[in-house]
Chain A
């Protein structure tokens, strides 16, 4: 993006250093509202895989913005009047002041917003038109349309009247100093409006995002929902341009929503989280920028990316950290069960020899066996009777569940997967720790009585309240 790079070269960084002031607070509040709305809308962008469209929209609004400037910059009240004040065109002279009044009424920011929204929607429509009427696929179509719109906008800047100063740098990188009360008021309306629309149309939007084909078959207008999201996105992006600028605004849309996506499997929760992450990124970004004396937009984006990074690492279902914890717990779980089963098999044994026997049986280190015994004792699955260990009734039940799982797996492997009965044992050793799947096996196999070695498969006890088998903190995977 050459214009971006060119603008970056002669950038005056002193503009970024906003002091702690009313201006700073106004911008923080405004940015947080932008972050909130962008985050929520970002959920749809991320789930519907429209990230590229999000980026495209923010760039493609340029002609609309320039056009709004043009209209706003024309001396309408001088229309149809020559330099000396004499009327040269009656109609124009009549209309001129009226238009000037109208523009004065709607105010410059609103005019910009209208221009940008219209261009945003035209872009979204054009992208679909190109896809439909040519061989071009959607990603290329987006590329063609948005660069064309951006180029058109830049050409239009050169056609602006001398009296109008258009700050392309502000458009590209944002300019916190340019934020005024009008912007704040506008965001104060747009953000709640976006949230309200999403809340009202929540179920429709969910349906259309998840399954557009079925939605269409149900008579829901998929295209209307698509353009509604595009429209809201254009409005929000344009209203928020002064905070981050077009180059970075897409980060405020995609990054918080992607962070939320890591953390939840619920659509509603994702919307809330994305909104919160967006607002927090903006708020923290502003503070960091102030403390570190750095530009605000990039600071917000970096905070959002940091949140995303944390969510990747700490995600409960996909994250690296919880994955490690799960593996660790699983390893302990397997150790516990192996030791428990060994005790069940061996029966009461004198203590001294017992450890050696356990070690041979389970092939675990002495230290691990000690720890497992301690945990089992704590769970009251075994009792320490002087020099021997015995299973409590709960311990026996758990051991039987395992034997059952083991033999069911053996049966399944032999019957359904054709593994030879001599080889099933080792595999079943590994699989027996997953009890709830074993119950499903039982169902699939039609409740077999004996395993491939001819041993009886113990029936499930009725006092196990559900399929999951015994539940205890020690056996979270039970």
Chain B
């Protein structure tokens, strides 16, 4: 592992919308097999950061290197698990088809999934314990099951770097545990994971924690990073109001790009 480039390295990433800075000089790195938790209040730029890491937004300044290269050259090694709330759950599609979509990216523009792809989708569904629901329509799933299906799609991609956007939002304790078992397993396999989340109580389970509020408040192992002073600096002393503020802000934010109309 001496020379292999880091799975993810962000250097001075700066993004502004309408001259209003959203991210200021964000730098961090993620090693192989590491789990990084990113937390911050709403409006802290978490989603923007994810999008810049994925190359969906070009940073105004700074750079993102994935496996030492530009994102566009290594897309097949990255998987992205979006939030479930923006998805049209009435779309005529079954669980199996959603998971199989994980394979589409590696195909050409006319590519059709083959036997191997179907086997991988099957495997991924087994891993998340959703094989029984393979033929179900996605509307028939519970919130936790929907998340597991999205995870299965990412698994199916066979990526080495996974970016998860709030995989624990609104799931019950049992599902949260199941998801954690799964991502622990992936990390053990040498995959690198970046998890955006809201829940401050689970930060100890990550290898690295990044506290974000437009800029990096703190970055490092959880035992030194997650301190009351740092959290106060991140949330501006309004920790107790957070739950209320969360919901209000969530309703308000809307993207401006019609093609990506479902993100926060």
Q: Is A69 an interface residue (CB 8 A)?
A: no
Q: Is B7 an interface residue (CB 8 A)?
A: no
C-alpha gap A269/B113 in the complex (Å): 18
Q: What DSSP secondary structure best describes chain A's contact surface? A: helix
Q: Of the listed stretches A214-222, A335-343, A378-386, name the one at the interface; the rest are far from the partner chain.
A: A214-222
Closest to A135 in B: B256
Q: Which residues of A contact B98 (CB under 8 A)?
A: 210
Q: Are A213 and B262 in contact (CB under 8 A)?
A: yes
Give the residues from 212 to 261 in chain A that come closer than 8 angstroms, CB to CB, to chain B: 212-220, 222-223, 226, 261
Residue B109 contacts which of A127, A131, A201, A266 (CB distance < 8 angstroms)? Answer: A201
Q: Which residues of B contact A211 (CB under 8 A)?
A: 82, 87, 101
Q: Are A270 and B92 in contact (CB under 8 A)?
A: yes
Q: Is B252 an interface residue (CB 8 A)?
A: no
The 8 closest A-B pairs by CB, nearest first: A218-B105, A217-B80, A219-B75, A265-B137, A222-B259, A217-B54, A267-B92, A207-B104
Q: Are A265 and B94 in contact (CB under 8 A)?
A: yes
Q: Which residues of A contact B75 (CB under 8 A)?
A: 217-219
Q: Is B170 an interface residue (CB 8 A)?
A: no
Q: Are B256 and A212 in contact (CB under 8 A)?
A: no
Q: Are A267 and B93 in contact (CB under 8 A)?
A: yes
Q: Which residues of A contact B94 (CB under 8 A)?
A: 265-266
Q: Which residues of A contact B82 (CB under 8 A)?
A: 211, 213-214
Closest CB in chain B relative to A187 CB, distance in Å:
25
**Count of interface residues, chain A, beta-carbon cutoff 8 Å:** 36
Q: Is B19 an interface residue (CB 8 A)?
A: no
Known contacts A219-B105, A222-B259; 12 further A-B pairs (Cβ under 8 A): A138-B258, A206-B97, A212-B261, A213-B86, A214-B80, A214-B101, A217-B75, A217-B80, A218-B80, A266-B92, A267-B92, A267-B97
Give the residues from 93 to 107 in chain B that come closer than 8 angstroms, CB to CB, to chain A: 93-94, 97-98, 101, 104-105, 107
C-alpha gap A96/B238 in the complex (Å): 75
Q: Which residues of A contact B113 (CB under 8 A)?
A: 203
Q: Are A226 and B259 in contact (CB under 8 A)?
A: yes
Give the residues from 429 to 455 in chain A that come closer than 8 angstroms, CB to CB, to chain B: 444
Q: Which residues of A contact B112 (CB under 8 A)?
A: 202-203
C-alpha gap A223/B153 in the complex (Å): 23
Closest CB in chain B relative to A95 CB, distance in Å:
39
Closest to A202 in B: B112
Contact with A along B227-264 (1 / 0, CB 8 A): 00000000000000000000000000000111111110
Q: Which residues of B contact A201 (CB under 8 A)?
A: 109-110
Q: Is A123 an interface residue (CB 8 A)?
A: no
C-alpha gap A206/B105 in the complex (Å): 12
Q: Are B262 and A203 in contact (CB under 8 A)?
A: no
Q: Is B194 an interface residue (CB 8 A)?
A: no
Closest to A269 in B: B92
Closest CB in chain A relative to B32 CB, distance in Å:
20
Interface centre among A204, A209, A216, A223 (most CB of B within 10 A): A216
Q: Which residues of B contact A214 (CB under 8 A)?
A: 80, 82, 101, 153
Closest CB in chain A relative to B30 CB, distance in Å:
17
Known: A211-B82, A226-B259. A217 touches B56 (CB 8 A): yes
Residue B259 contacts which of A47, A216, A218 (CB distance < 8 angstroms)? Answer: A216
Closest to B259 in A: A222
C-alpha gap A183/B257 in the complex (Å): 38
Closest CB in chain B relative to A353 CB, distance in Å:
45
Q: Are B260 and A132 in contact (CB under 8 A)?
A: no
Q: Is A200 an interface residue (CB 8 A)?
A: yes
Q: Which residues of B contact A131 (CB under 8 A)?
A: 256, 258
Closest to B53 in A: A217
Closest CB in chain B relative to A208 CB, distance in Å:
9
Give the residues from 390 to 432 in chain A that come closer than 8 angstroms, CB to CB, to chain B: none
Q: Are B92 and A261 in contact (CB under 8 A)?
A: yes
Q: Which residues of A contact B93 (CB under 8 A)?
A: 206, 210, 265-267
C-alpha gap A287/B82 in the complex (Å): 49
Q: Is B88 an interface residue (CB 8 A)?
A: yes
- Residues of B at the A interface (CB closer than 8 Å) are 54, 56, 72, 75-76, 78, 80, 82, 86-88, 91-94, 97-98, 101, 104-105, 107, 109-113, 137, 139, 153, 157, 174, 256-263
Known: A203-B113, A265-B94. A220 touches B104 (CB 8 A): yes
Q: Which residues of B contact A220 (CB under 8 A)?
A: 104-105
Q: Which residues of A contact B256 (CB under 8 A)?
A: 131-132
Q: Which residues of B contact A216 (CB under 8 A)?
A: 54, 56, 259-260
C-alpha gap A350/B87 in the complex (Å): 60
Interface centre among B75, B76, B92, B111 (most CB of A within 10 A): B92
Can you give 7 A-B contacts (C-beta < 8 A)?
A138-B258, A210-B98, A211-B82, A214-B101, A219-B72, A266-B92, A267-B93
Interface centre among B97, B137, B259, B260 (most CB of A within 10 A): B259
Closest to A263 in B: B92
Q: Which residues of B contact A218 (CB under 8 A)?
A: 75, 80, 104-105, 157
Closest to A444 in B: B174
Residue A204 contacts which of B104, B153, B258 (CB distance < 8 angstroms)? Answer: B104
Interface centre among B54, B93, B110 (most CB of A within 10 A): B93
Residue A212 contacts which of B97, B153, B259 (CB distance < 8 angstroms)? Answer: B259
C-alpha gap A51/B261 in the complex (Å): 16
C-alpha gap A128/B88 in the complex (Å): 21
Q: Which residues of B contact A77 (CB under 8 A)?
A: none
C-alpha gap A266/B94 in the complex (Å): 7
Q: Is A359 an interface residue (CB 8 A)?
A: no
Q: Is A264 an interface residue (CB 8 A)?
A: yes
Q: Are A210 and B101 in contact (CB under 8 A)?
A: yes
Q: Which residues of A contact B110 (CB under 8 A)?
A: 200-201, 204
Residue A265 contacts which of B56, B92, B263 (CB distance < 8 angstroms)? Answer: B92
Closest CB in chain B relative to A467 CB, distance in Å:
8
Closest to A264 in B: B92
Closest CB in chain A relative to B48 CB, distance in Å:
13
Q: Which residues of B contact A206 (CB under 8 A)?
A: 93, 97, 101
Closest to B54 in A: A217
C-alpha gap A223/B258 in the complex (Å): 10
Closest to A224 in B: B109
Residue A128 contacts which of B91, B97, B139, B258 (CB distance < 8 angstroms)? Answer: B258
C-alpha gap A127/B259 in the complex (Å): 12
Known: A204-B109, A217-B78. A210 touches B259 (CB 8 A): no
